[in-house]
A and B are shown apart, each in its own frame.
Chain A
Amino acid sequence: MSKLPATAATKVTPLHGASRMSRSLAQPALDATYWSGQMSRVAVYADVDCFMRVYDHFAPRLNRYLLGLGLPPAQAEDLVQEAMLRVWRRAQSFDGNRASLGTWVFRIARNLHIDALRRASTSSAWPDDDIEQLHDDEFDVSGSAPEAFTDHVGLGRAIDALPASQARLIRMSYLESKSHSEIAAELGMPLGSVKSTLRRAFAKLRRGLGGGA
């Protein structure tokens, strides 16, 4: 009897892996609603348990993202923590009707990263918080129907359906933060082709989002 649970456990593990994957890939619209609910409790009750669920989901993904941008591990982790603290502090300004939590969290992490680069590369004095908050919150998919952004099933499918060359350029843009000219140099493509490929990819992904042609 004592061996049975162990055997079951080893057999269950891959299934767990599969179910986690299908949850994140096939049911993201449900996820968007779920995360909005968690964030409402953070905003209204300062609910630490709900926030830590958000943290457990997003912090490792932000870490992967920032490492992919080439940050040293210690710096990536500092930025992850900073971004998650900002999510906590600004919970009240998150509006689940205007953007998914994933989009909002991505925006916060990206802006913190850009600010870190700015501080490192320029001597200009940067006002700290207000401008960043403006940029975290303002650029939402506002003109479209509230549910448009939750249609990440369509977006996930559209990403999977991209031709390889378009998918590659989209990934290099977002996951490595490569500029158009860096992509052009690395792949030996003319700059104009890099841009036109990205334009075509964006048009397809917008349709996946329900954003029309």
Chain B
Amino acid sequence: MTPVRHLDPATLIGYSSGALPLAFAAVVASHLELCATCRARVGEADAIGARLIEQQEGAPLSAGAREALQARLSEASALAPQPARSGRPDPDLLPTALQPWFGERYSTLRWRAVAPGVQILRGGDTGPDARLLMLRTAPGRRMPLHSHGNNELTLVLRGAYDDVLGHFGPGDVADLDADIEHQPVTSPGVPCISVAASDAPMRFSGWMARAMQAVLRL
């Protein structure tokens, strides 16, 4: 899987500096699990942050902090075995960064139908400033036309779709600014599963609007 559509550098900086809302950070981290290019980019963003922090003069810790830390070293051995990395990838597993919000496995997701061929799942409590949503759309179907107040970050997990911006397959992200109105059409074959973070209520127009808004309580 080689994603062709990557994260906006501004988003990478937001992620690296810890300033992204949780919902966005979850989508970014999921993309990073799939995309070596963006992993390298965020490595650079982290190096920039580290450099800025090292350039600053330190703020002394309280008296005794050093000794307290040193005393705790023996109870946490540096030679403790490291947890093993997971073995071969299991295609039923969600990206690790999404698991706390939606569960571990695609096969156990409890989708809610909102319209013929369209199912959704809301992520857990992502706080007041952003929301996280998974969308499963049958192949060859028009997704609801919508626009955004501020930002939306979408990651394709399975299947694919096309919209005015092009073709998006597994691992690709669409990192969208405000005032883009788009109507994705899913590719034939398998259902398209995507996850999206948005920092303002999505505004749907068209026939599906009422059903979507009712279910999403947007």
Contacts and interface: CB of A to CB of B under 8 A. Distances in A.
**A-side interface size class:** 35 or more
Interface in A151-177: 152, 155-156, 159, 170-171, 173-175, 177
A174 B48 contact: yes
B83 interface: yes
Contacts of B12: 202
Contacts of B33: 138
Contacts of A48: 70, 73
Interface string A36-79: 00000011001010011001100111111101110001000100
B125 interface: yes
Contacts of B101: 124
Q: Is the interface of B mostly helix, strand, loop or mixed?
A: helix
A205 B50 CA distance: 13
Contacts of A178: 17, 19
Contact of B150 (A56, A90, A181): A181
Indicate the member of A129, A180, A196 with the most B CB atoms within 10 Å. Answer: A180
B181 to A, nearest CB: 17
Interface in B24-62: 25, 29, 32-33, 36-37, 39-40, 42-62
B52 A171 contact: yes
A92 interface: yes
A179 B15 CA distance: 9
Contact of B14 (A113, A125, A180, A192): A180
A195 B151 CA distance: 12
Contacts of B62: 73, 77
Q: Is the interface of A mostly helix, strand, loop or mixed?
A: helix
Indicate the member of B12, B14, B62, B76 with the most A CB atoms within 10 Å. Answer: B14
Contacts of B61: 59-60, 63, 77, 80
Nearest to B47: A103
A89 B76 CA distance: 6
Interface of A: 24-25, 28, 42-43, 46, 48, 51-52, 55-56, 59-65, 67-69, 73, 77, 80-81, 84-85, 88-93, 99-100, 102-103, 105-107, 110, 113-114, 118, 121-127, 129-131, 133-135, 138-144, 149, 152, 155-156, 159, 170-171, 173-175, 177-182, 191-192, 194-196, 198-199, 202-203, 205-206, 209, 211
Interface of B: 8-10, 12-14, 16-22, 25, 29, 32-33, 36-37, 39-40, 42-62, 65-66, 68-70, 72-73, 76-80, 82-83, 96-97, 99-101, 124-127, 150, 177-178, 199
8 contacts: A59-B61, A64-B53, A68-B56, A92-B78, A129-B83, A142-B36, A152-B47, A155-B51
